[in-house]
Structure 1
Amino acid sequence: MKLSADLSALSVRLGHSFTKPELLVRSVTHASMLSPHRDDNQRLEFLGDRVLGLVMAEALLQADPSAPEGLLAPRYNALVRREACADVARQIDLGAVLKLGRSEMKSGGRRKEALLADAMEAVIAAVYLDGGYEAARRVVLAQWGDRIRNVAADARDAKTALQEWAQARGEVPPQYVEVGRSGPDHQPIFTIEVRLASGPSQQATAGSKRQAEQAAATALLKKVSA
């Protein structure tokens, strides 16, 4: 089997030459491509998630041999969560080569964060099955490189940090309220406001509720800590 030009280019961007090209094809094939002769990437996604986790756990231990589990865990979560996987997928332009059914194509599937993240995990699994753990490890470390080096010393997400800030002062947990939504149905833009019982609040806008909540929490943390 010979890879198409766009998948060959993806292979180059990944830094891995496939001996079994069908694995790469399957990794970019979404379940919406209904065909009795085509396997989708869901099983590969399951495997890729575990391979990514092992690579990241090993990399973090090597990067900071003295870090306690309490610091390693949030760093790990920051590197393997959906947003990080989707960012790497965008970095290698994975969305452009995804094989999607008509409904997903029309709904903007190539830009959907969940779909991109799942496909990225499937691609990692394809590399693992084709070349083994070391091949997968090389690809992951190359694509996640700056993220691993720059992951915060305490990578707790902003929502967790804000909640702990409030609890330390005897306040109830912050409230997150959707105060606006714009854009087309397939690519909505959310505006979220986070409020503290003591009065301070802050708003943020992003392409997903989670991103908007995190951005609002970050802004409010800066505001109350100033």
Structure 2
Amino acid sequence: MIEERIGYSFKNRELLKRALTHRSFVKDRKLSNEQLEFLGDAVLELAITEFLISNFPDIDEGKLSKIRAASVNTKTLAAIGRKLKLPEYILVGRSEQKEGIVNNDHIIENTFEAIVGAIYLDGGFEKAKRFVENMLGETVKKIVANGIIFDYKTYLQEITQKAFSCLPEYVIVKEEGEEHNKTFYCDVYINSVKYGSGCGKSKKEAEKNAAREAVKKLEKRDV
């Protein structure tokens, strides 16, 4: 059973069913896992943030942000989803089933995040946090130990070269604050279309945050 695999028993099993339901399986999108995935994404990020602060108090915020990004990217979450055998449980429409989309990294990632959201609604943040730590704790520790840092700017460049045959363009649109304490705001464009925005205490940080938003948007579109 899926509950045995994830190590959590639902009081409301309808939440679990919804977490496993792709929008192609139901007519009403409110019955799909999309909203749970949206919620789970936020819960996952908070849970990982708390885990990092508790376990690595000496690492500065900039590095923690990069470690968190490396811990919750599509490939990492899809790999965990496969270990849980989530493709066996994801509910999709007939044509989508024939296409084998249950094995798509983004579908598995979204389902994993939806399960996090469902656990949060069913049992609260502490239960969801425990699930996240059980699933990702060792992965996070390996990332820290091996010095693996996820670079969203490099990743976005790889995506845009492959999918659009061009490079992303970063534009600093605004600067605020005193000279010694400025905040920079950046937009990133692909083929003159804005895909992300970000801010930071340096132009480089603002560009990285804009790239992160663009990558998440593109991954949702399965580019």
Q: Which TM-score band applies after superposition, normalised by the shorter structure?
A: 0.5 to 0.7
Deviations 1:44-102 (A, max 9, x none): 00000000000000001111101111211110001111111111111100111000001
Cα gap change, 1:159/1:49 in structure 2, threshold over 3 Å: closer, same or farther? closer
Structure number with larger C-alpha Rg: 1
Q: Are residues 1:155 and 2:155 paired?
A: no
Q: Are residues 1:133 and 2:125 paired?
A: yes
Taking the aligned partners of 1:161 and 1:46, their CA distance within structure 2 comes to 25
Q: Residue 32 of structure 1: SS of its match in structure 2?
A: helix
Taking the aligned partners of 2:60 and 2:28, their CA distance within structure 1 comes to 49
Taking the aligned partners of 1:61 and 1:110, their CA distance within structure 2 comes to 34
Q: Where does 1:3-22 land on structure 2 (aligned, <5 Å)?
A: 9-22=1-14
Deviation for aligned residue 1:38:
7.5
- Structure 2: gaps spanning 5 or more residues: 163-214, 216-223
Choose from 92, 110, 123 the match for 2:102.
110
Amino acid at match of 1:157: F
Q: Find the counterpart in structure 2 of residue 85 from structure 1.
A: 77
Aligned residues: 161
Q: Is the 8 A contact 2:78 2:109 kept in 1?
A: yes
- Structure 1: gaps spanning 5 or more residues: 1-8, 163-172, 179-209, 211-226
TM-score, structure 1 as length reference? 0.65
Q: Is the 8 A contact 1:32 1:104 kept in 2?
A: yes
Aligned residues with identical type, % of pairs: 32
Taking the aligned partners of 2:123 and 2:41, their CA distance within structure 1 comes to 17
Cα gap change, 1:38/1:75 in structure 2, threshold over 3 Å: closer, same or farther? closer
Amino acid at match of 1:102: R
Q: Residue 96 of structure 2: SS of its match in structure 1?
A: helix
Q: Is the 8 A contact 1:48 1:121 kept in 2?
A: yes
Taking the aligned partners of 1:37 and 1:74, their CA distance within structure 2 comes to 33
Cα gap change, 1:177/1:122 in structure 2, threshold over 3 Å: closer, same or farther? closer
Q: Find the counterpart in structure 1 of residue 17 from structure 2.
A: 25
Deviation for aligned residue 1:157:
3.2
Q: Is the 8 A contact 1:82 1:114 kept in 2?
A: yes
Q: Is the 8 A contact 2:143 2:149 kept in 1?
A: no
Q: Find the counterpart in structure 1 of residue 91 from structure 2.
A: 99
Q: Find the counterpart in structure 1 of residue 63 from structure 2.
A: 71
Q: Is the 8 A contact 1:71 1:155 kept in 2?
A: no
Deviations 1:128-168 (A, max 9, x none): 10011111111111111320221135432378689xxxxxx
Choose from 49, 71, 81 the match for 2:41.
49
Cα gap change, 1:111/1:19 in structure 2, threshold over 3 Å: closer, same or farther? same
Amino acid at match of 1:155: I
Deviation for aligned residue 1:103:
2.1
User: Pairwise CA RMSD of aligned residues?
Assistant: 2.7
Taking the aligned partners of 1:160 and 1:146, their CA distance within structure 2 comes to 26
